[in-house]
């Protein structure tokens, strides 16, 4: 059932902040004759203390429909080391000037503030986050934040095998890897680069280091890769993978139309014809995915149904773009620059009020697939969402050497308010 708007009384309660110590635990005084509680030195004991003595969830991160936003996605960069056909031209696109991007200290300042207010999961995205030189240091410093339980990253996997050991040591706890095909020639056609085997090496390195499940994100596009659904499912038989099939979504400039989208129901029907014993798993709270498992398989498959069955009613996500803008809804065109307020010397309380005002304006749900396809939004490379141009496969199939000439995509002017970037090209990591 959809969340109901709050009463005026409840709204008034939520708009008066409940303060706590910097760890997020309530400040208490010992009773007369009672010894002060010793310092909790072990991280596990500190986490247990936080769970048992947690303060009420922050009013600043609670919207008008009672949704508590405990999951923050931070884009570390707009750059990417691939040139996907559906994402950007081979020569790349002009990006935000470096001086306008968040510095490492600004990223950590905002992360610390959000965690203090109740965020317990942060995912690092891009662009391609693993091309940022200080990504390991950022993970290590995030890991020191009291109350942060999960640090995830979404990557194209090219640099994963090399960087994962130090990332794991730094505190990385979850991995999503983007992969739209299991055919090497088709991979090169889509991304205009070699690297399929590097991605596979990264996936196996994650399994080797004990990540389970390793999530693999696959955007399913009619005419490009919907014929590989069963191959992806079969892949989970012997490996602890969670292959997540994602409905193709409309964004500014990606020529979306309904015919290109393969719906969740259609994908599920195709899989059940091959494996009728497919079982639905219980849904986790605030999860975006509907999970299924074939008995006897190590891994599982999931469906992200943003278009056909949206999950707005339980959305707990906020996004910070690489240039420091807060987006409360991926499909909305409303955002506020936290970077500008930080650089203007705003206090913590002032920044929190700005965040709270933005969260308070979040709508009950997005406008629907057809309305979204007509909306004006910032160029999606600045958010990092997969830009889903559907390209034409080569005539002679995907056999060895069966590549195809690169398809040139002509840039179109960005029509977002206040933006001078030339095209709505984007990378894929920050949505998933």
Answer whether 350's CB lies under 8 Å from 341's CB: yes
Helix (H) or strand (E) holding 327: strand 325-327
Residue 283 to residue 297: CA distance in whole angstroms: 19
pLDDT in tens, 106-161: 999 999 999 999 999 999 999 999 999 999 999 999 999 999 999 999 999 999 99
Task: Answer with the residue of higher pLDDT: 431 or 330.
Answer: 330
Residue 180 Cα distances to 45, 160, 232, 310, angstroms: 41, 17, 10, 22
| Predicted pLDDT at 309 | 64
Give residue 330's pLDDT band: very low, low, confident or very high (50, 70, 90).
confident
Q: Is the pLDDT of residue 276 over 90?
A: yes
User: SS3 sequence, 338-353?
Assistant: HHHHHHCCCCHHHHHH
Task: Answer with the residue of higher pLDDT: 124 or 407.
Answer: 124
| Predicted pLDDT at 288 | 77
Rounded mean pLDDT of the chain?
78
pLDDT in tens, 423-432: 333 445 555 5
Helix (H) or strand (E) holding 185: helix 184-191
Query: Strand locations in 26-120, DSSP E?
Result: 71-75
The CA-CA-CA angle for residues 339, 341, 343, to 5°, reads: 70
| Predicted pLDDT at 29 | 41
What would the two tokens of residue 125 be? Answer: 């995205």
| Predicted pLDDT at 344 | 98
What would the two tokens of residue 160 be? Answer: 């994963």
| Predicted pLDDT at 49 | 54
What would the two tokens of residue 138 be? Answer: 């950022």
pLDDT in tens, 42-84: 455 545 655 565 557 899 999 999 999 999 999 999 999 998 7
Give residue 343's pLDDT band: very low, low, confident or very high (50, 70, 90).
very high
Q: Is the pLDDT of residue 11 over 50?
A: no
Q: Is the pLDDT of residue 258 over 90?
A: no
Q: Check whether the bond before 127 is cis (ω within 30° of 0).
A: yes
- CATH code of the domain occupying 71-214+314-318+375-382: 3.20.20.70
| Predicted pLDDT at 431 | 52
Q: Which residues contact 343 (CB under 8 A, 6 or more apart)?
A: none
pLDDT in tens, 344-391: 999 999 999 999 999 999 988 754 444 444 444 444 444 454 334 344
């Amino acid at each position: 059932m959809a969340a109901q708007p709050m009463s005026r009384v409840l709204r008034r309660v939520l708009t008066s902040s409940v303060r706590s110590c910097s760890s997020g635990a309530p400040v208490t005084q010992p009773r007369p004759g009672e010894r002060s509680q010793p310092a909790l030195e072990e991280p596990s004991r500190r986490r247990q203390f936080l769970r048992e003595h947690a303060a009420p969830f922050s009013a600043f991160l609670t919207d008008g429909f009672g949704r508590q936003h405990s999951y923050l996605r931070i884009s570390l960069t707009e750059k990417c080391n691939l040139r996907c056909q559906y994402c950007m031209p081979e020569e790349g696109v002009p990006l935000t000037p470096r001086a306008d991007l968040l510095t490492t200290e600004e990223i950590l300042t905002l992360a610390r503030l959000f965690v203090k207010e109740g965020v317990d999961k942060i995912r690092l995205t891009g662009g391609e986050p693993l091309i940022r030189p200080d990504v390991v240091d950022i993970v290590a410093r995030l890991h020191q934040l009291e109350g942060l339980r999960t640090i995830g990253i979404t990557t194209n996997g090219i640099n994963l095998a090399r960087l994962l050991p130090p990332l794991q040591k730094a505190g990385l706890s979850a991995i999503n890897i983007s992969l739209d095909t299991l055919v090497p020639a088709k991979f090169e056609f889509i991304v205009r680069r070699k690297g399929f085997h590097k991605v596979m090496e990264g996936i196996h390195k994650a399994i080797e280091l004990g990540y389970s499940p390793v999530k693999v994100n696959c955007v399913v596009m009619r005419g490009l890769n919907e014929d590989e659904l069963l191959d992806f499912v079969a892949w989970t038989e012997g490996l602890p993978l969670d292959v997540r099939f994602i409905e193709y979504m409309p964004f500014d400039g990606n020529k979306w139309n309904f015919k290109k989208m393969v719906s969740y129901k259609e994908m599920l029907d195709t899989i059940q014809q091959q494996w009728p014993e497919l079982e639905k798993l219980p849904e986790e709270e605030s999860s975006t995915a509907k999970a299924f498992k074939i008995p006897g398989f190590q891994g599982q498959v999931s469906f992200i149904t943003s278009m056909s069955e949206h999950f707005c009613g339980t959305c707990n996500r906020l996004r910070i773009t690489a240039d420091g803008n807060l987006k409360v809804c991926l499909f909305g065109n409303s955002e506020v620059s936290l970077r500008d307020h930080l650089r203007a010397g705003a206090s913590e309380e002032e920044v929190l009020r700005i965040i709270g005002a933005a969260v308070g304006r979040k709508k009950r749900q997005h406008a629907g697939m057809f309305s979204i396809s007509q909306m004006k939004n910032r160029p999606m490379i600045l958010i990092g969402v997969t830009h889903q141009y559907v390209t034409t496969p080569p005539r002679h199939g995907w056999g060895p050497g069966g590549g195809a000439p690169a398809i040139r995509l002509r840039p179109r002017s960005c029509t977002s308010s206040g933006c001078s970037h030339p095209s709505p090209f984007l990378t894929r990591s920050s949505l998933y």
